Amino acid sequence: MAIKLTRNVEAYASLREIPVEFLTIFCLTCAERGSGVFNQLSESEQIEWFSQVLNSAWKASLGGASEDELIDILEDFELRYGTLAMDDPDSKEFCLVQAATLAVNAIAVHLNPSAARAEMSGQTLETILGSFDFRLNGSKSVITRRDTQDSSIGRLQQLEQDSQKSTIESIRALTSQGISGLTPAFLEDLRNSCGPARDKIALATEDVADMSGWATS
């Protein structure tokens, strides 16, 4: 049975309208929510690594991390996860690597801003959560082409789409005030706002892991 995921088309179109320096913020909020997946499926050493990567990505948006440091993180990611098999969307490894990619992609977009690449963060998390929705509803997940759409949408994917829209609204509200740059207060509020969705995603990940027989942290 194929899953046809209805994508967050309006939100992704909006990424082409916001200032490029805010594209990383969209990716960071996806990664923050996606940490609920990664942390549930990982061992303590992996969780520590992911936390450091995500913190560095947030700091980078305010100039708190050097380009060399960020490049080292990208290279380390390839060493850690580049050789894992990614041909089974129903596997723990697939979900784990996709969740890790969210933090790494935020860094990549910071280094080379691209609306298309920022959209990848949203698409990736939607794919993970869409597959979780189908598993929790008793259906087997099969990832279809990203442009394939259907009217159905599950609880977790809807949560993510709403969260993405909220992030873009926050960015628009800030830029409408004539503020052209990021501030520590804005970033802290935005990161904290991801907490409730992240926690719901973590609980759902635990349920999916139990159903699938995956070991969790």
Percent of the chain with pLDDT over 70: 88
Q: Could you tell me which residues come within 8 angstroms of residue 7 by beta carbon, excluding any fewer than 6 positions away?
A: 123, 126, 146, 149
Contact (CB, 8 A) for 12 and 181: no
Q: What is the mean pLDDT of residues 52-61?
A: 95
**pLDDT, tens digit, 9 for 90 and up, residues 134-171:** 999 876 544 444 444 444 689 999 999 999 999 999 99
Nearest Cα to Cα of residue 191 among 56, 31, 41: 31
- Sign (positive or negative) of CA dihedral 176, 195, 114, 181: positive
The C-alpha atoms of residue 90 and residue 94 are separated, in whole angstroms, by 7
Nearest Cα to Cα of residue 100 among 83, 77, 69: 77
Kindly indicate the confidence band of residue 6, based on its pLDDT and cuts at 50, 70 and 90: confident
Where in the chain are the domains? 9-208
**The CATH fold of domain 9-208:** YP_001051499.1 fold like (1.20.1590)
Q: What is the mean pLDDT of residues 94-101?
A: 94
Cα end-to-end span (Å), the chain: 30
One-letter amino acid for residue 103 of the chain: A
Tell me what the pLDDT averaged over the chain comes to: 89
